Amino acid sequence: MKKILPALFVLFTACTVQKVKKSVRDSKVFDQGFTGFMLVDPAKDKVLYALNEDKYFTPASNTKMFTYYAAHKVLGDQVNALDYVESGDSLIFWGTGDPSLMHPDFEDRSVLNFLESSDKQLFMADNFDEVQAYASGWSWNWFNYYYGPERSSMPIYGNIVRFKKEVQTESLTYSPRFFAPQIKEDLSLPAREYSILRDKNINDFRYHLVGEELSFETDKPFVTSSQLTREMLEDTLGRSITMIDYDNVKNRPHQKLKGVASDSLYKQMLKISDNFLAEQLMVLVADELADSLNVRGAIKYLEEHYLADLPDEPQWVDGSGLSAQNKFTPRSIIKLLEKIKAEVPEEKIFAYFPSGGVSGTIRSWYKSDDEHPYVYAKTGTLSGVHCLSGYLLTKSGKTLYFSFMHNNYVISSNELKKEMEKVLYLIHDRY
């Protein structure tokens, strides 16, 4: 009997793998585009099934897993919130890319407390030219959408205006109030329920609300600049700030002010696929690595020092995955998942990653039979792109690594998700 049971288990496992192979390879849904898939059992160090695992795909927000790993390797428990020099009666400061300054989703006051408590004259060094507002490959028309805030060396309020409307209130509310003179009602705007539009080049916002029972919250990016950041800081602090040339101070010895906990940024970035946080984390990584805000240089360093063991050299251009110029293979993503699992405690991974049927971008998908999620994975979606990569827990107690990548499909992403759900549940239930 002892010999028969293992033999039956091996046969059962083999049948399951064959069913998985057939469900991926022969799927009429996946056949509508180009699909890559890889499934690995790390306990056995075995590839259970792979399809196009060595082909390059546009990963969309699967890129954020590389951003997370970079930040994990480089940043400490707290990010560098500010660079500064104290000289005589002067305090000179400049940005490191920290996204938390007056961000509506974070309560960190490190920078504000530091500047408020100083009895010195405040000078802001303008290093905004070190960070391009849009990364290579971004679409110009994302300026009006919540997912496209500009990158900057010293973000403030998350580089967005947050608009809210509740059922019990008649009017639209927004933050920061700094923009009040530039936010105006425009009944000529077409709208089913509401419309909020910003001028492409300037911070003029127009809105039209239809119906009193509306309830919503939405973010609109604003056009960033060093001058605007200085004015908004002055407005908050109630103090004058003088702008100076960054070239005059960048090579001087300086200190770094510690700020928000890194963990809080990682969790929001991965859970809800926050593009802004992902981009700013890469700026912070550049600051930590080379005391500059050169993201391209930071990526090159990371590839050479922390990702040299990937099976296929990545084409990595931004932190968020908004650029279609990013290219990764499924087997390189599997290798990254392996590295994360080896270096990060499991409870942290499961706290950061979206969980099937419970939280983040997959809270409506991949539901388990009980209260325990079986998929912890990062999504990635652009036009014609849908990817899901992460960790899959089976009923037999195994933790598997998987990467599902779809490019160039012309069907709805929901059709892909339904088909992926069948495959992943089969693995969870039977393997």
**Strands 78-87 and 183-185, how do they pair?**
unpaired
Q: What is the pLDDT of residues 297-324, one digit of tens each?
A: 999 999 999 999 999 999 999 999 999 9
Considering the domain architecture, whether residues 81 and 201 belong to the same structural domain is answered as: yes
Tell me the backbone φ, ψ of residue 385, rounded to 5 degrees: -130, 130
* H/E run at residue 78: strand 78-87
Q: Same structural domain for residues 10 and 135?
A: no
Residue 10's pLDDT band (boundaries 50, 70, 90)?
Answer: low
Q: Among 243, 262, 281, which residue terminates a domain? A: 262
Residue 4 has pLDDT above 80, yes or no: no
Residue 391 is part of which domain span? 4-59+328-430
Residue 5: band (very low, low, confident or very high) from pLDDT cuts 50, 70, 90: very low
DSSP string, 398-425: -EEEEEEEEES--S-HHHHHHHHHHHHH
> pLDDT-based confidence at 213, cuts 50/70/90?
confident
Hey, what are 332's tokens? 């390189």
The CA-to-CA distance between both ends of the chain, in Å, stands at 22
What is the predicted pLDDT for the residue at 34?
Answer: 98
The reply to whether 289 falls in a domain is: no
Q: Quote the number of domains for the chain.
A: 2
Q: Is this prediction's pTM over 0.75?
A: yes
- pLDDT (tens digit, 9 = 90+) per residue, 92-120? 999 999 999 999 999 999 999 999 999 99
247, pLDDT greater than 70 = yes
Q: Which of 125, 111, 39 minimizes the C-alpha distance to 80?
A: 111
- pLDDT of 127: 98
| Judgement on whether residues 32 and 88 belong to the same structural domain of the protein | no
Domain identity same for 15 and 145:
no
pLDDT tier, 360 (very low <50, low <70, confident <90, very high otherwise): very high
What whole-number distance in Å separates Cα of residue 343 and Cα of residue 59?
Answer: 23
Are residues 140 and 176 both part of a single domain?
yes
Say which DSSP state 63 is in: H
- The enclosing domain of 416 has a CATH number of 3.40.710.10
Residue 374 lies in a domain: yes
Give dist(CA 90, CA 252) in Å, integer. Answer: 14
- Claim to verify: residue 49 and residue 85 sit in the same structural domain: no
Whether 340 maps to a domain, the answer reads: yes
Query: Is residue 86 domain-shared with residue 180, that is, in the same domain?
Result: yes
Asked if omega into 59 is within 30° of 0 (cis), the reply is: no
DSSP calls for 228-249: HHHHHHHHHHTS-EEEEEGGGT
Strands (E), 301-369: none
Model confidence pLDDT, tens digit, residues 154-169? 999 999 999 999 988 8
Higher-scoring residue by pLDDT: 226, 16 = 226
Amino acid at 364: S
**278-289 pLDDT, tens digit each:** 999 999 999 999
Distance between CA atoms of residues 338 and 67, nearest Å: 15
Residue 349 lies in a domain: yes
Asked if the structure places residue 288 within a domain, the reply is no
- Does residue 378 sit in the same domain as residue 335? yes
Q: What is the pLDDT of residue 14?
A: 81
Asked if the structure places residue 309 within a domain, the reply is no
Strands (E) located in 222-369: 241-245, 255-261
Instruction: Give the residue among 318, 317, 313, 288 at the shortest CA–CA distance from 303.
Output: 313
Can you give the pLDDT at residue 9? 47
The answer to whether residues 85 and 22 belong to one domain is no
Check pLDDT > 60 for residue 35.
yes
Same domain, 232 and 142: yes
Cα separation values, 93 from 3, 111, 135, 229, Å: 71, 10, 25, 13
For residues 195 and 213, the answer to whether their CB atoms sit within 8 Å is no
257 inside domain: yes
- Chain centroid offset of residue 71 CA: 12
Owner of token pair 């991926």: 24
Dihedral sign, Cα of residue 286, residue 287, residue 291, residue 295: positive
Of the pLDDT bands very low, low, confident and very high (cuts 50, 70, 90), residue 244 is very high
**Phi, psi for residue 279 in degrees, rounded to 5:** -65, -45
Quick one: which of 382, 390, 386 has its CA closest to 373? 390
Tokens describing residue 401: 């690594």
pLDDT at 13 over 80: no
Structure tokens at 188: 């000529």
Distances (CA, A) of 313 to 71, 207, 293, 337, 343: 19, 46, 23, 16, 21
Last residue of a domain, one of 233, 262, 291: 262
Residue 236 lies in a domain: yes
Mean pLDDT in residue range 291-299: 97
pLDDT at residue 411, as a whole number: 96
Average pLDDT over residues 15-41: 95
